């Protein structure tokens, strides 16, 4: 198997292109999902969504303050005995100012900030839920896992696989059904924005998996979707490594053999064809998001947290889509994007596998453009004009 990954011939074949690319020593932190600009951009968007959510809550609260008469209580008061007409009128007037309810348990103002106004059962349940959430979440809303934890009463945590902007991922064993089978469980951050993104990821994966019943299109299989202590849970088939780990293991600095690159390229293009057929843009392809089977023969694209349909109306151009080293030039320039951005990411990933080095290790978007132009030449005047119009 090691012969498959021997990369001695890689440097020689890639020399003409490599000569154009300056040597850059990269640290593992350079492969993070965000730089400072990207983090600020994301946090600004999250703050905007949070302000919008608070505004809607205020509007709902104002609407809720319009008191509705308790019609059932008024009818009961009207049917009171004639000898008690004075008291019945008083009861009617009193109850007319209370919200309509079906039971005593529901006769509280759900929008009240007064905890004492809540029934004891509700207060106790809320306190228990809050304590449970606080016990499992860190300050940024990530689920804090411990070895041995049970998730959804089905998956037992055996190790940590990592964390990204949207979620944390743990290695688990399925304690039901296929006993002891390894799975990867993604726990989405406890955040409305992230939860909506998880629902989108679930929908995309279900669509891609359903249209690939024989599991031949090299897309990760979604096994389960649910919730656990306030976190959306997505469980996937367990694969041994990702392509970055394979590269570090077998071809650090020199790349892996062209035969292995060719095999992986064919499988990745099958996956891209399947996604394009169903109008899915992955928008974050990189070696970390391509998983490899235990025998190194099969690769599958994973992590559809940034994925979208090409027909989605809210696919606004943004210069920070896709991890920076694998970001297509049209994205950096803020131009409309589509399936070609995934093809670009696959292309630079294959170069990295073959040569053992990142093709365009830019430190910023501007540096990325400079490096791309070093290899591909200047952008056309038409492209530059479209970029200028986009950012006016």
pLDDT of residue 86: 47
Residues in the chain: 392
Confidence class for position 50, pLDDT limits 50, 70, 90: confident
Tell me the per-residue pLDDT of 26-48, one tens digit each, with 9 for 90 and over.
655 555 555 666 767 777 777 77
Whether the predicted pLDDT of 25 surpasses 90: no
Mean pLDDT confidence for 126-136: 51
Going across the sheet that includes 181-188, the strands are 150-151, 155-163, 167-174, 181-188, 231-237, 222-228
Tell me the per-residue pLDDT of 326-340, one tens digit each, with 9 for 90 and over.
999 999 999 999 999
- Separation CA 7–CA 2 (nearest Å): 10
**For this structure, is 134 an active site residue?**
no
Catalytic residue among 284, 288, 303, 342: 284
Whether the predicted pLDDT of 132 surpasses 60: no
- Separation CA 322–CA 294 (nearest Å): 27
pTM for the model stands at 0.70
pLDDT of residue 135: 65
Q: What percent of the chain has pLDDT over 90?
A: 50
Confidence class for position 116, pLDDT limits 50, 70, 90: very low
Q: What percent of the chain has pLDDT over 70?
A: 68
Q: Where is mean pLDDT largest: 22-31, 116-125, 193-202? A: 193-202
- Separation CA 296–CA 210 (nearest Å): 25
pLDDT of residue 215: 96
Confidence class for position 125, pLDDT limits 50, 70, 90: very low
| Average pLDDT taken over every residue of the chain | 79
Classify burial at 113, counting beta carbons within 10 Å of its beta carbon; exposed 0-12, middle 13-18, buried 19 or more: exposed
Confidence class for position 126, pLDDT limits 50, 70, 90: very low
Classify burial at 331, counting beta carbons within 10 Å of its beta carbon; exposed 0-12, middle 13-18, buried 19 or more: buried
Of 196, 328, 357, 355, which is closest to residue 261 (Cα–Cα)? 355
Which domains, from first to last, does the chain contain? 2-31+239-390 (1.10.510.10), 150-237 (3.30.200.20)
Confidence class for position 277, pLDDT limits 50, 70, 90: very high
């Amino acid at each position: 198997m090691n012969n498959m990954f021997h990369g001695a011939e890689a440097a020689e074949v890639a020399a003409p292109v490599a000569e154009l690319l300056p040597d850059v020593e990269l640290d593992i932190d350079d492969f993070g999902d965000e730089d400072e600009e990207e983090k600020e951009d994301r946090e600004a968007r999250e703050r905007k969504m949070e302000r919008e959510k608070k505004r809607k809550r205020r509007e709902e609260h104002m609407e809720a303050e319009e008191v509705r008469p308790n019609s059932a209580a008024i009818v009961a008061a009207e049917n009171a005995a004639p000898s008690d007409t004075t008291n019945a009128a008083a009861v009617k007037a009193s109850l007319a100012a209370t919200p309509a309810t079906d039971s005593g348990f529901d006769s509280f103002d759900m929008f009240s900030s007064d905890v004492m106004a809540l029934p004891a059962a509700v207060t106790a349940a809320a306190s228990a839920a809050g304590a449970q959430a606080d016990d499992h979440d860190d300050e940024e809303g990530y689920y804090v896992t411990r070895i041995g934890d049970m998730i959804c009463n089905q998956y037992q945590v055996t190790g940590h696989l990592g964390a990204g902007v949207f979620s944390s991922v743990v290695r688990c064993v399925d304690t039901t059904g296929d006993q002891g089978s390894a799975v990867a469980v993604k726990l989405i951050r406890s955040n409305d924005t992230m939860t909506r993104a998880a629902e989108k990821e679930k929908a995309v994966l279900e669509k891609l998996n359903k249209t690939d019943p024989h599991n031949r299109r090299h897309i990760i299989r979604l096994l389960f979707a649910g919730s656990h202590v306030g976190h959306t849970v997505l469980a996937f088939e367990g694969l041994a490594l990702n392509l970055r780990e394979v590269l570090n293991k077998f071809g650090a600095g020199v790349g892996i053999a062209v035969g292995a690159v060719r095999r992986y390229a064919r499988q990745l293009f099958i996956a891209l064809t399947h996604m394009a057929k169903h109008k899915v843009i992955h928008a974050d392809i990189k070696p970390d998001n391509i998983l490899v089977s235990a025998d190194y023969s099969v690769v599958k694209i994973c992590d559809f947290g940034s994925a979208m349909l090409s027909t989605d109306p809210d696919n606004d151009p943004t210069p920070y889509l896709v991890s920076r080293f694998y970001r297509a030039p049209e994205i950096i320039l803020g131009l409309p994007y589509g399936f070609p951005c995934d093809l670009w990411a696959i292309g630079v990933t294959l170069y990295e596998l073959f040569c053992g080095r990142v093709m365009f290790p830019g430190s910023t978007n501007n540096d990325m453009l400079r490096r791309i132009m070093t290899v591909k030449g200047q952008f056309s005047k038409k492209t530059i004009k479209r970029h200028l119009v986009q950012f006016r």
